[in-house]
Amino acid sequence: MIIISIVSALGIAAALAATAVRILPTVSVDQPSLSFTESEVRIDIPLSLSNPGPMPISDVSLMLSVKDGSDTTILSGSGGPFTVSAGRTEHLTFPLTLPLSDTSRPILSRLLTSSENLTVTATLLAYVPPLAKLTGRAFTDFPWGALVDNLQISTPSVAIYNSSHLLVTVPMSFENHSPFIDVDTVLEAEIINATTGLSAGAGSLHVQAARNSAFSQDLILYLGTTLSSETLFFNDATLNYIINLNATIIGVPTSASRTIQLAWGAPVKNLSFAPFSAQIVNSTHARISLPFSLENNSDYVALSGRILGVIHDSQGNEVGSIEPYALKADPGHSLSDQLTGFVRPDSLGQGVLVLRLTFETAYGSFLREVTVNV
Amino acid sequence: MSRLAGLELSHGALVSRLVIGALASVMVFFVYYYLPASLVAFASRFIPANALAAADKVLPSLINPAILMLGLLLTLLVFLNVVLGGSKVHGLIVILIGACVFAYTILIFQGGTISLVLPRELLQGLGIDLQINLTNLMLVFLACPVLTVIKGVLLTLRGG
């Protein structure tokens, strides 16, 4: 009996050891899948567990939680209990849920843009009936990599898009330091006039940054209304805008904003007139010539269109007109020429004449009143 | 003829008992003393190099110092069991062997639940806290010493 008991005990122990040792290399984890709802992010981790040992493993359950530095649970999940019979393989999905509550959203937003250490705690329960019951707890620090780190919004460049909009190109870059999560989202951008607070344009960008990679691309914004301002047509200015960026990353709405300044150069700058000359043609008309110069100080707006004008005397009566002038000045170039027109000869003796000039361009019509001595 | 605890043995029988007893005690010494005393060195052959530091720290804690004392005592008792087999004290020796193995088994199983705590600094930041309840397996292993004690009691009742 003693010998039988020794042999039995050693046999049972060997079977238990074989079950414990042989199962370890047969646990495999497949690629997790993410799904998003309004209230949570769910990460499903497919697991397969083979039991080549001679004894069944029952009541296997696994719990896992991830907490941040302030001990707030960010991610939690539990699976089981399930049984892996001897010689069988079990396939199961271990779900982890990331609740998107009001309290967790700020934490998640922070985790999108900052790397920090998270505490991972895993608890495993398993039973090899009737001999062994395992309760195991493992805990470790998990270095979380920010999904959007070192976000750079560089100085924008501006170009003409059409008669009503400018094309603002904003180079953007960031790094995805996460070893697990790809960033795939649409970045919605709105450009706000910082002075008026009104929306001045918008754009969007499809952002795709694989895990452990850097993203660099241009955000294209369509900025309207700027050219229609008469002030900006004739004067340099510094334009202040706020770019609001909004995107949803792993189910978490996130936003950022940047203030940008555009150095605006007036398409018509330093408009000046020299003394004009007049030549009487007949009893009702005198031909006038009016030398002028201007500078297109814009970096990107080509000045094209025409100048029209009417001439008034000092009492406001219309006494003549300017012949249409074809206006053309490339960005950064000056223009010196002369306007011509006709006035009534009697108006030449009134001391001053008022020229009401209209600059007709593709971006709008702009009025400039000029008083010239006769 | 030699007389030991009421047992008369020829010179040849005594010599053969001494040799067999020595061999048996060497085996017992190896299993019950040497292996537990050399657990770290023995286990290190199967443990990955990066976990050796943890094993050095944790494995000795699994071996109660009393286990080694019991191992030495068992070595002596097994030797005496062979040499004094059939004598008046043979039953007592068998009882003591059973009692020693009984105590040894309980100590090895830490009373039924083996605790293993690996602090974070040992496994590159991974902390492990394991509780393995092996009470039923321990009971199976206790059957042998219990039967041994019963055998010793029966031998004693039969008068050695």
- What pLDDT digit, counting tens, does each position of A189-242 carry? 999 998 888 898 999 999 999 999 999 999 999 987 666 678 888 999 888 999
Contact check, Cβ <8 Å, A16/B132: no
- Identify residue A97 by its one-letter amino acid code: T
Q: Is B107 helix (H, G, I), strand (E, B) or coil?
A: helix
A149-263 and A269-373 agree in CATH topology = yes
Q: Name the average pLDDT for chain A.
A: 85
- The minimal CB distance from A138 to the residues B126, B131, B133 is found for B126
Enumerate chain B positions whose Cβ falls within 8 A of a Cβ in A.
120, 125-134, 136-137, 140-141, 143-144, 147-148, 151
| Best CA proximity match to A233, nearest among A266, A203, A198, A185 | A266
DSSP assignment letter at B64: -
pLDDT of A25 > 60? The answer is no
Cβ–Cβ gap A132/B143 under 8 Å = no
pLDDT band for position A55 (cuts 50, 70, 90): confident
pLDDT of residue A356: 93
Residue B148: closest C-alpha in chain A: A2
Look at residue A307 in the predicted model and tell me its pLDDT.
Answer: 94
Q: What is the pLDDT of residues A155-201, one digit of tens each?
A: 888 887 877 788 889 999 999 998 888 899 999 999 999 888 889 89
Q: What are the backbone dihedrals phi and psi of residue A311, each rounded to the nearest 5 degrees, phi first?
A: -115, 130
Residue type, A196: T
Minimal Cβ distance to B130: which of A16, A136, A140: A136
Q: Which residue of B has its CA nearest to A133?
A: B133
Fold of A22-101+113-143: Immunoglobulin-like (2.60.40)
Over range A262-280, report the average pLDDT. 88
**Which residues of chain B make contact with A136, given a CB cutoff of 8 A?**
128-131
Mean pLDDT, range A328-357, rounded to an integer: 89
CATH superfamily, domain A149-263, is Immunoglobulins (2.60.40.10)
For residue A14, the chain B residue with the least C-alpha distance is B137
Residues of B in contact with A137 (CB under 8 A): 128-130
pLDDT of residue A360: 92
A8 touches chain B (CB under 8 A): yes
* Structural domain spans, chain A: 22-101+113-143, 149-263, 269-373
CB contacts of B136 in chain A (<8 Å) are 130-132
Least confident of A16-20, A121-125, A275-279, B113-117: A16-20
Below-50 pLDDT ranges, chain B? 160
Whether residue B136 and residue A131 make contact (CB cut-off 8 A), yes or no, is: yes
How far is the alpha carbon of A226 from chain B, nearest alpha carbon, in Å?
58
Burial class of residue A349 (count of CB atoms within 10 Å of its CB; 0-12, 13-18, 19+) = exposed
Peptide bond into A179 cis (omega under 30): no
Residue A37 vs residue B25, higher pLDDT: B25
| Chain A contact set for B120 (CB, 8 A) | 139-140
Q: Is the CB of residue A137 less than 8 Å away from at least one CB of chain B?
A: yes
- Return the biggest CA–CA distance within chain A: 147
The predicted complex's ipTM stands at 0.72
Task: Domain A269-373: give its CATH code.
Answer: 2.60.40.10
List pLDDT tens digits, range B107-144. Answer: 988 898 988 887 776 666 778 888 889 899 899 889 99
Contact B144 A141 (CB under 8 A): no
Inter-chain residue contact A131 with B132, CB threshold 8 Å: no
Q: What would the two tokens of residue B114 be? A: 């083996």
Contact across the interface for A140 and B148, Cβ inside 8 Å: no
d(CA A264, CA A156): 13
Q: At residue A328, does pLDDT exceed 90?
A: yes
CB contact under 8 A, B151 and A2: yes
- C-alpha to C-alpha distance for A327 and A337, rounded to whole angstroms: 10
- Give me the residues of A, 11-70, that contact B with CB < 8 A: 12-13, 16
Q: What pLDDT shows up at residue A102?
A: 65
> What contacts A264, CB < 8 A, 6 or more positions away?
A226, A232, A236, A237, A238, A239, A298
Model confidence at A321, pLDDT cuts 50, 70, 90, reads very high
CB atoms within 10 A of CB A94: 18
Q: What is the pLDDT of residue A358?
A: 94
CB pair distance less than 8 Å for B131 and A134: yes
A133 in contact with B, Cβ within 8 Å:
yes
Strands A57-67 and A334-343: unpaired
Do the Cβ atoms of B127 and A131 come within 8 Å? no
A6 touches chain B (CB under 8 A): yes
